[in-house]
Amino acid sequence: MRLALDEARAAAARDEVPIGAVVVGPDGRVLSRAGNRVEEHCDPSAHAELLTMRAAGAALNSPRLTGCTLYVTLEPCPMCAAAIVHFRPARVVFGAYDPKGGGVEHGPRLFERPECLHRPEVIGGVAEREAADLLRAFFAARRPPRTRPAPTDPPA
């Protein structure tokens, strides 16, 4: 997860949403690592998970990540969860939970659906605070501060 967090920090430095991912092979060797590149590539599918799974598949010369582990700093979204089903890693380890946009423990809970073709082992909440803090800091720096409207006098 440390390497995935490094990728998330690198993504933030590129003005990308700070999400990082790493694929580790069955032998413990790092096969690939990536951070989000949505803005850089002008590609809404350039999520860290997809980039690193594609690279790991290329490194293995296989469309399947059999026996591999995907580490990602945020619960995968539905798009990435669907891709995970097809890449078929043995396990997915993620950092922060995503109640608004997640597709694994929240939202469609894709791996729990009866028609799901592959159900990886899922471990959530690993380095959760650090991953969530990266996201909070990134968005806090880009959103205007909330101001409360001044109280108004009641009508006379």
Please write the tens of the pLDDT for every residue from 74-113: 999 999 999 999 999 999 999 999 999 999 999 999 999 9
Q: How confident is the model at residue 156 (pLDDT cuts 50, 70, 90)?
A: low
Binding site listing: 47, 77, 80
pLDDT in tens, 107-130: 999 999 999 999 999 999 999 999
Binding site listing for Zn(2+): 47, 77, 80
Give the CA dihedral 79, 83, 84, 86, nearest 10 degrees: 150
Q: Is 61 helix (H, G, I), strand (E, B) or coil?
A: coil
What pLDDT is attached to residue 151? 66
Catalogue the active-site residues.
Answer: 49
Q: How confident is the model at residue 150 (pLDDT cuts 50, 70, 90)?
A: low
Of residues 151 and 30, more confidence is placed in 30
**Phi (first) and psi of residue 121, to 5 degrees:** -65, 135
Radius of gyration over alpha carbons of the chain, in Å?
18
Counting DSSP H helices and E strands in the chain, the numbers are 5, 5
Q: How confident is the model at residue 155 (pLDDT cuts 50, 70, 90)?
A: low
d(CA 37, CA 19): 10
| Domains, the chain, ordered by start | 1-140 (3.40.140.10)
